[in-house]
Structure 1
């Protein structure tokens, strides 16, 4: 592993901020010997108060031929620090959850490594397990994991049998005394096995990442879905530029590890994902051009987006070694002025970069191969890149100096940790950048104070007037493509209870299609709104207003408030059902529902424009209040309700019920007999 060894020899002699701790070879911090026999003078150790100091202990496998004190320690700010009695002190960024540290052997090869959290860690042990975890996590599949998700991922990984095998292979390699124990093919093969188990799954696909809105004198564009940025320019029909801005990508992350496994992204709102462009006062046709950096056309929009998105990718790569470095590059817009010259000289004029960007877009190279090509472009101008970082983030570095060799060393190391190429499919930035549209153009027309998206012209009358609830009325409208290219409708947006069914949603230039619009009110109220044809960018392609009113197909009337009724009695009240239709009203048997305590005999049909009177009986069995809706549903007139209410009360004592009217009976003859029912409604 030549690249791996090269990295080791570079990184251990460099750091972002030079902290001179020793002048001796190997960083020996032992006190100098006084050759004249005098007292030994121990030089003071310089400490930067802006850095975190971590005490690192070394734990080697049993049987290892090398001893802890034979190793040296390196971090982003510590160069080959000697280990004394199994431990040593290193320095790193303060308040950073992931900073990589190394233990190196005499051949300048990494023997052990691990990630320290300078927020909470003051003592850390480098051993085989910390090394195995670091090698698994030092891969682009971890780019979008939250700190909580990383912790859960480590717990998950420790339970894998593949991880146990990987640790055993590391253990054996270190015990064997190999000069470069982490660079063997066996170690890399076992590492790939672990990583492949962790991120094995397919990704979902999206259609459109941007939302466009035109509101009078302002055009608003929001990047709602893509983690890659889009640069948007506003042009007139003669291609004159009136303004441009960058809609940065949304910040996607795996909040918990199970989200990563199930491909459920979390997403942070970003104010910079929405941009406003002022529309000129002059009437005419205007175009919003959005590009993500994959157009290869040299346009302002393409270069701005390519710069931003490539910066984010570089930040993610450096973040494998230092969370703080990733944070520095998380907002490339803060560095535009100081970095434009570097990007032009080493990226946009690089034929290799442009060719690989196009190959990545076309799918002829993978995200892994494209990322490596970006790394090579940076390495070709690494000195200038380092100087650019210093200019951009001078205040954050507290006056320190980023050394070119450190940048080159970490990027050289990337080729080793990225061997498991399928893990690149899990990176939100690469996935979104490639699968979403590279170019999106939206046209609109300004007339006076109004501006609407151009594309489709709607003609027709959608004033439906009065429509019975449960009935429907259909009208036909014409939709014509008045644009200069075919238009595909994503969907129709309609008011409540308005329906459109269109099979062919692609309309060619100049073509007119006829569309059925159905209005089917479900309530007795007024309906209104816009019937809109919506494009794949959520833009309105054309619209027409509709109005209509739902009126009752039948009515329910009558006073069904029974008041106080003695329990076990059954008084009745009349309910009138009026059919307003010019056809028979069909009542659904299962659609007639009475509240508890009420009943009646509802007919199954009512003739056109006729009314029927139904006796509704209230029969309380308990001393309590009764209330509820009588529901009558129909197959051709919708559903109506009416409230019935009453209170069951205690009766006054004995009560006799029956018909004792015997009619006319001759004197001296028998008129037969009748039975009576005697009820005790009293309390005794």
Structure 2
């Protein structure tokens, strides 16, 4: 009967951990009851055999299927759940008590010596049979690891299917089946398990590319708020006055990160427990000190974080056995109580706090630390259940799960020497800074950041012409005795806009220069530009960030300096006339021309230079201004300067004159903004003398070539115009262009001739001759090169 029964149950095996997608189970099971007319209820389907206990739990039939050649019989085993143990009858069946809700619970089968032989994760209210087999044991061994700590019950059910479909799982299943058949589950020697675990952890590990600050500090309405917006590890936050005297501490809880198989971790959004808000009692300098529990500095805030994070870790371990049991501890006080119990406890003669120090220093993995916590939970299960009962009000007297019995199974955690810390808590605890400080000043009703930098001068751009760009340089000073690292500069956008300012830009340092280190009492030069689009006044606030995660959408929480940049846009202050010829000679000849500048502004202007700004896609034209020193254009006056132009290529040019003036504001250095001049656009064309494409090759003779071979010869084409030209080449029989024809010669070929390869491939013993005809689509002219060769044997 064993073999026949095995075949029947195997049909359901792939679904033993979850309901069908077409018939999801969401509500708790209810007892079958008699019909109101006195009749009896329909017979219960074998897959629905259950009863409801007085506590509202559910008792389910559970089937144990041993391998065909097993040394033991099913009747030699006992099935255990969180609530109960039950022997297996001769029908391979036992009755097990479980929570009456959709969850992810562990069952295991023990031999007469109490050694665990088989395992299975089940959904207590699934309509599918609850079974324990070699396959469910293999799945459970992969799932019983910290990489599943942050998975919901639903995601764990998905993971079960994913595990079964993963290459390497069949090898693990066979290995586990062979061990079960011998009557001993020796996980430590199962190489297939380690290979599969490493494969899963490599694929699912959430990797952070950079180490950024996980906390945001905001100053508003006389309060300081700390928000944990990145880390699943919690921070204890203490506030200290200007004399470094501790005042109080609060918890900024870690993000509740949930792991999904395909998309990694997601968070549940911003909640109040992620924030710690402080009222500041008096004026002066204050410091917020946040620690994640790994500082071991004796402070109350570090102890609070250590307890809370250890409590979260303990809940992850408990979730290995029962998702429902894990959910019974919800509020922060209960997590702190649980974590404090474990943090101060010992596991196998090791203090958990000492193990945390090794974890912090990278001497043990997160999996090894979780194993230590597991053994503490197993040793002190009564005190753990007491905390759960006090916090949840649930009677835990019935809970009797054999935690210690699982210790031998879970020992493989410590055998994975290169175990990935794939749990969110493990990863974040090590990734993010363990100690973070934020300095601020209270001055009456105002709260502001402590200033580490000062600026020499201001950022008043003065008057700027519309659609022109003005640059301005200022010196930024480090007034402290410490080295400061800047991670960026932020220009506040216009009201209603996002990102940075559309009109004010940091030109230097450029993006590739960050982070920038400023030595004690040192400085650096910053160049800001303003490019207004319409006539009005422009302002922005410039912030310098000592926070590496400055570009996060919530700007200012870690700014070391803020200053205002202003600009006033006016109508064009000058107008220009010129006598630049519409046609310029070809490259090599200069043309002089005059530019008359009229000053329409109420002030005298000192000319810096005039230049032509060529439109995008045009080649550069060299124009040189030769104004005398101190070239002043009086208000309402006109002065003329001489410029020279030289065109390099045959091309139609288009551009704009830009007139710039010396800066007269007295602050900073640089130029007044360039002017957008009415009537200053110039369009002209150089003379075209000759063909746009030329070659120095007059004729090509290949000589005698064997009919079984071929030979190539090259010539060069030079382009005499900036414009792109399409080239077509036609050849007589026996000759072809290597690479094909037609082809494009773009502006890159202005300075580099194009190598053209002609191939001669005779097929007969005879002379070959004719003309290579090179044509273009620029002026349809042709170049003709005679070509010849003889085919021989």
Q: Same fold (TM over 0.5)?
A: yes
Q: Deviations over 1:425-446 (max 9, x none)?
A: 2111011111211111111111
> Are residues 1:547 and 2:566 paired?
yes
Q: Determine which of 234, 244, 250 is the counterpart of 2:249.
A: 244
Aligned residue among 441, 445, 449 for 1:445: 441
Structure 1 CA distance, aligned partners of 2:407 and 2:571?
Answer: 74
1:467 aligns with 2:470: no
SS in 2 for 1:437: coil
CA distance in 1, matches of 2:340, 2:187: 40
Structure 1 residues 255-654: aligned runs within 5 Å: 255=260, 257-259=261-263, 264-329=264-329, 331-336=331-336, 342=341, 345-346=344-345, 352-378=351-377, 381-393=380-392, 395=393, 397=394, 399-401=395-397, 406-410=402-406, 413-416=409-412, 419-454=415-450, 455-483=452-480, 485-495=482-492, 496=501, 497-502=504-509, 503=513, 505-509=516-520, 511-524=521-534, 526-536=537-547, 538=550, 539-550=558-569, 583=610, 586=613, 588=615, 604-605=655-656, 609=677, 611=679
SS in 2 for 1:390: helix
Return 353-362 or 224-233, whichever deviates more: 353-362
Alpha-carbon displacement from aligned partner over 1:321-353 (angstroms, at most 9, x marks no partner): 1111222345443354x55874675379x9833
RMSD between superposed Cα atoms in Å: 3.6
For 1:258, what is the secondary structure of its paired residue?
A: coil
Q: Which moved more, 1:273-282 or 1:47-56?
A: 273-282
- Match among 183, 194, 197 for residue 195 of structure 1: 197
1:505–1:134 distance in 2 versus 1, CA, 3 Å:
same
| Aligned-partner SS, 2:202 | coil
Report deviation, 1:522. 5.0
Question: Match of 1:219?
Answer: 224
Matched position secondary structure for 2:364: coil
> CA 1:105–1:352 in 2, change beyond 3 Å: closer, same or farther?
closer
Q: Measure, in 2, the Cα distance between the counterparts of 1:144 and 1:240.
A: 38
Given that residues 455 and 477 in structure 2 are in contact (C-alpha distance below 8 angstroms), is that contact kept between their aligned partners in structure 1?
yes
Instruction: Give yes or no for contact 1:386–1:404 (8 Å, CA) kept in 2.
Output: no
Decide whether the 8 Å contact of 2:473 with 2:526 is kept in 1.
yes
* Aligned partners of 2:461 and 2:566 also within 8 Å: yes
State the SS of the aligned residue for 2:421.
Answer: helix
Deviation per residue, 1:110-146 (Å, 9 max, x gap) = 3332111124346312222112111111111122234
Structure 1, residues 397-449: CA drift from partner, whole Å, max 9, x if none? 2x232657745445665324564354442111011111211111111111121
Higher deviation after alignment, 354-363 or 149-158? 149-158
Contact 1:312–1:329 (CA under 8 A) maintained in structure 2: no
User: Hey, what does 2:92 align to over in structure 1?
Assistant: 86
Any conservation in 2 of the 1:469–1:520 contact (CA below 8 Å)?
no
Aligned partner of 1:209 in structure 2 is 214
Query: Does the CA contact (< 8 Å) of 1:111 and 1:174 recur in 2?
Result: yes
> Pick from 224, 234, 243: which aligns with 1:229?
234
When residues 335 and 555 of structure 1 are mapped into structure 2, their CA distance, relative to the original with a 3 A threshold, is: same
Mapped contact 2:308–2:335 kept (Cα < 8 A): no
Q: CA deviation at 1:267?
A: 1.9
Asked if 1:179 is matched to 2:215, the reply is no
Question: What is the DSSP-based 3-state SS (H/G/I as helix, E as strand, rest coil) of the residue aligned with 1:425?
Answer: coil
Say if 1:478 and 1:404 are closer, same or farther in 2 by CA, change over 3 A: farther
Residue in 2 that maps onto 1:675: none
Contact map agreement 1:524 1:552 (CA 8 A) in 2: no
Q: Deviations over 1:37-93 (max 9, x none)?
A: xxxxxxxx9933421222212322223354334433211111134435222221112
Query: Which consecutive unaligned segments of at least 5 residues does structure 1 have?
Result: 1-44, 557-577, 592-600, 616-684
Q: Could you say if the C-alpha distance between residues 46 and 162 of structure 1 is closer, same or farther in structure 2, counting changes exceeding 3 Å?
A: closer
On the 8 A contact 1:103/1:112 being kept in 2, the answer is yes
Specify the alignment match of 1:126 in structure 2: 132
Q: Deviations over 1:233-288 (max 9, x none)?
A: 11102233333211111122222x233xxxx4222214145324334342111000
Q: 1:199 is paired with a residue of what secondary structure?
A: helix
- Whole-Å Cα distance in 1 between the matches of residues 390 and 370 of structure 2? 25
Deviating beyond 6 angstroms after TM superposition, the runs of 4 or more aligned structure 1 residues are 552-556, 578-582, 612-615
Single out whichever of 540-549 and 373-382 deviates more from structure 2: 373-382
SS in 2 for 1:80: strand
Counterparts of 2:488 and 2:682, CA distance in 1: 47
Q: CA deviation at 1:473?
A: 2.6
* Aligned equivalent of 1:564: none
Q: How many Å separate the matches in 1 of 2:574 and 2:61?
A: 85
Q: TM-score normalised to the size of structure 1?
A: 0.69
The answer to whether the Cα contact below 8 Å between 2:234 and 2:252 also exists between their aligned partners in 1 is yes
Verify the 8 A CA contact 2:118 2:180 in the aligned structure 1: no
Q: Is the 8 A contact 1:243 1:277 kept in 2?
A: no
Q: Provide the C-alpha distance between the structure 1 equivalents of 2:507 and 2:77, rounded to a whole number of angstroms.
A: 75
Q: CA deviation at 1:166?
A: 1.5
Alpha carbons of structure 1 residues 404 and 579: separation in structure 2 relative to 1, 3 Å = farther
